[in-house]
Amino acid sequence: MKNNAYIVYFLTRSLFLGFGISMLISFTGKDTYLPSLLGICLGLIITYFYQKIITKKENQTLKDLYKKNKPIGFIAKALMLISSIFLVIYTTVLYIVFVISFLLVNTPQLYVVIPFIIIGIYCAFKGLKIINRVAASLIVISIVLSIFGFIGLIKDCEITNFLPILTHTPLESLKTTLAFTGISAFPNILTLHLKPNIKNYTKFYLLASAFLVLTILIINGVFGEALSLIFRFPEYMVLKQLKIFKFIEKVENVISTVWVFDLFITLVMAIYSIKETLPEKHNKLVTTIIIAIIILFIDKTFAFNYVNELRLYFVLPYISLILAILIIPPFMYLVKKNH
């Protein structure tokens, strides 16, 4: 029986909160939606290879694949472990910055992150079946809340905020295209753990990407280019314009939970990936220790340290694009060896 690739929807969107969308807008302002569409096309090429790997590995786990050729298997394993650790760091930092900035302003950082991590570890250790169930239960809520936000904000958009079009250089547009490609495709590295009985892989990537482009359009349409460039979390700030019946306000805290869903599913998959990359003996204990070290590292390095957050922000498109592409050749070789 085939399962829907719900996870792809959340992974595709996860790194755009705060970091991704604001970075793209900083490159091309009101024109961001145009190179982003090209970025979707390139992202489809990368995710096509991921889907191919998942299909070709048949019912084997990645651990089985690594054994097909030890040198190449070691490279593939190392890339997967590095990617998973990066994704744990990115999703955790994004969650902390977002929650402390807008939702739990006076709460100590560790109090914010520990429950998030504990639940993430619990779900990850339960395995792919539970992760898929959680994703399946959250995706309906995410889509409904996203559509509600789009419908509520479209009336506030001004067409003049998009004019004149194509005012940015080809180099700036190329940067946006490549950044969108990398940021949207990179987390889907984690889907290589999935079994081949998945369907609608590409459709969920397209759906998530379409929502991202709509979000960019709404931000620019409501704020205009100048304001869009100022806000650190424009996708949250634009929701502040949303009201129900003109008197129910503060709905942004409810609708913005869709971004937390993305971060949570990605965190869970990244922890699961770390566990599956380690030797089977004591892998849960070692994974927990690794996650604890990562949390301590984040607490010491990024706690209210805006400079280090900016460094993480600026290297995101490079790390994401390089790892998203670099991981394909060794795994393609291993699945070819498998046949």
241 lies in a domain?
yes
Q: How many domains does the chain have?
A: 1
Whole domain around residue 31: which residue ranges?
Answer: 3-333
pLDDT score, position 27: 92
pLDDT in tens, 15-44: 999 888 999 999 999 999 999 999 999 999
338 lies in a domain?
no
Domain CATH for 302: 1.20.1740.10
Burial tier of 329 (Cβ tally within 10 Å: 0-12, 13-18, 19+): middle
339 lies in a domain?
no
Q: How far is CA 248 from CA 103, 189, 245, 252, 278, in A?
A: 18, 41, 6, 11, 50
pLDDT score, position 19: 85
271 lies in a domain?
yes
230 lies in a domain?
yes
- Which uninterrupted H or E stretch holds 223? helix 201-230
**DSSP state letters, 142-187:** HHHHHHHHHHHHGGG--GGGG-S---S-HHHHHHHHHHHHHHHHGG
pLDDT score, position 1: 55
pLDDT score, position 339: 64
pLDDT score, position 60: 85
User: Which residues of the chain have a pLDDT value below 50?
Assistant: none
264 lies in a domain?
yes
123 lies in a domain?
yes
pLDDT score, position 246: 61
